[in-house]
Amino acid sequence: MKSYFSFKPEHFNNNGDQGNIDVIGHFADLQNVDLVKTDVLENADFVLFGDASQAAMKHYEDDLGDFVESLKLRLENGLPTLLVGSCFELFWPLLTGVGFERSARVSEFRSVSSEAGVILGYRNSTVSNDDFIINRGFVGTTFFGPVLSINPELLNRILLEMKLEPARWTGQEQALVERVRSDFTDG
């Protein structure tokens, strides 16, 4: 059994960030491993802070602040964690002490090279210097939505850090992912 923690998934799900849980759950299930929800971040094998609206970020500002120390530990140890969009922009400077460079908002598909392969995603952000940061299984990114579904190498990285096996895609599924990745790069 593996566990995940996701902060307020009903509100921190802009553009389907919570789909990343479905993706991990799908491949865990193929390995006969249950992925179950935990309310305690420190106990979780995988942690997700999704992108949220300005209203949600303001409302939960204090609650989010309470997680900084635990997230620092996860970052230092490279534990499987995904900070997306507004939560990435909130937490990253608090975790590292380094702020982002900012420019005019850019909303577009992007690809970045990383140690987990070429990462594709859609971003809509004023952050101009870091779309994707990774330390073993700890990821912060401006790419929102189900990034794990279209970035198989990154998915495998997360699964391995969760002490699971790499994803076993069928040929049809692999072909579909390649088509989506190709659509992204063409689009």
Give the residues lining the site for another protein (CB under 8 A). Answer: 11, 13-16, 18-19, 22-23, 26, 53-56, 58-59, 105, 107, 109, 122, 124, 144-146, 149-150, 173, 176-177, 179-180, 183, 187
**Beta carbons of 159 and 26 less than 8 angstroms apart:** no
Neighbours of 52 (CB within 10 A): 24
| Between 71 and 143, CB nearer to another protein | 143
Q: 100, 80, 106, 107: which is closest to 162 by C-alpha? A: 80
Report how far residue 162's alpha carbon sits from residue 89's, in angstroms, rounded to the nearest whole number. Answer: 24
Identify which of residues 95 and 120 has a Cβ nearer to another protein in the complex.
Answer: 120
Distances from the Cα of 47 to the Cα of 55, 94, 175, angstroms? 22, 17, 29
Q: Which is nearer to another protein, 126 or 129 (CB)?
A: 126
Q: How far is the CB of 149 from another protein (least distance, A)?
A: 6
Smallest distance from another protein to CB 151, Å: 12
Please, what's the largest Cα pairwise distance for the chain? Answer: 46
Closest approach, Cβ 177 to another protein, in A, equals 7
To another protein, the closest distance from the beta carbon of 152 in angstroms equals 12
Which of 94/177 has CB closer to another protein? 177
Give the separation between CA 39 and CA 44, rounded to whole angstroms.
8
